[in-house]
Structure 1
Amino acid sequence: MQLFKAMLLIFLGGGTGSVLRFLISKTLNPVSSHFYLGTFTVNILGCFIIGLISGWVLRSNYMDQTLALLLITGFCGGFTTFSTFSLENLELIRNGELNNFLIYSLVSLLTGIAAVMAGFWINKVIA
């Protein structure tokens, strides 16, 4: 695949994911000052989507490189955000909200892993 085409696919997927992340975060983050619901939602949805796609690849033994660049590298890369998650955790620590930091971190990590597993499981069930 041409480098330009690969970069364009990543750009389109990443831009779409980033804009969607922005809209979800702006809508859901103000819901709670102690739990960043928008960031949590996009990260968990991204985990679920990557689990679905990866499970489908394993089940069908097929992955179009174009689709992988657009959806996995581009969309999921732009949609999910580890850097914002880390910044939000630092903010909780700086504010002395250690319990909220622990809850947010653990719930995000465990739910993210569960979401990837759910994506794989759905592919296994429909196979």
Structure 2
Amino acid sequence: MNWLLVACGGAIGASLRYGAGLIISKPHSLFPWTTWSINILGCFLAGIFFAFTQRYPVLQNETRLFFMVGILGGFTTFSSFGLETFQLIRQGQLPLALAYTVSSVVIGVIFLAIGFYLFQMILSSK
């Protein structure tokens, strides 16, 4: 059942992301406004949902899977990253939160580049 909740939510989130991209798109801008806007909105919605789960713990199970993992996960994984960072800060783990933030961004971009160039080399050798 949990897989179905995540899958249905993911389909909704991905569809919402696609639709938002069509609405927000700024084709002549160098700054990636669409992704930025979606990530910021996703973080805002994750914050609202997190506040609700603190007040109503019953929302921490199936509803969390459907909304946070499914819908917001399909909309943006940045919302999960933002929530996890915020939780570390709330727990007084500021150095760990900073390490998580910086390493996620820097290592993520490095691995994206490695994957890109590695796959380019494989394709060009054929």
TM range (shorter): 0.5 to 0.7
Give the Cα–Cα distance (whole angstroms) in 2 for the partners of residues 23 and 76 of structure 1: 14
The structure with the largest alpha-carbon Rg is 2
Match of 1:71 in 2: 67
SS of residue in 1 equivalent to 2:35: helix
Deviation at 1:23, TM superposition (A): 1.4
RMSD of aligned Cα (Å): 2.6
Match of 1:23 in 2: 19
Higher RCO by CA contacts (8 Å cutoff, separation 6 or greater): 1
Contact 2:2 2:65 in 1 (8 A): yes
Q: Find 1:47's aligned residue among 40, 43, 48.
A: 43
Q: TM-score normalised to the size of structure 2?
A: 0.56
Give the 4+ runs in structure 1 shifted more than 6 A: none
Structure 1 position 56 matched with structure 2 position 23: no
Q: Specify every segment of 5 or more residues in structure 1 that has no aligned partner in the other structure, as ranges.
A: 91-127
Q: Find 1:35's aligned residue among 31, 35, 38.
A: 31
Q: Specify every segment of 5 or more residues in structure 2 that has no aligned partner in the other structure, as ranges.
A: 79-104, 113-126
Percent identity of paired positions between Structure 1 and Structure 2 = 33
SS of residue in 2 equivalent to 1:41: helix
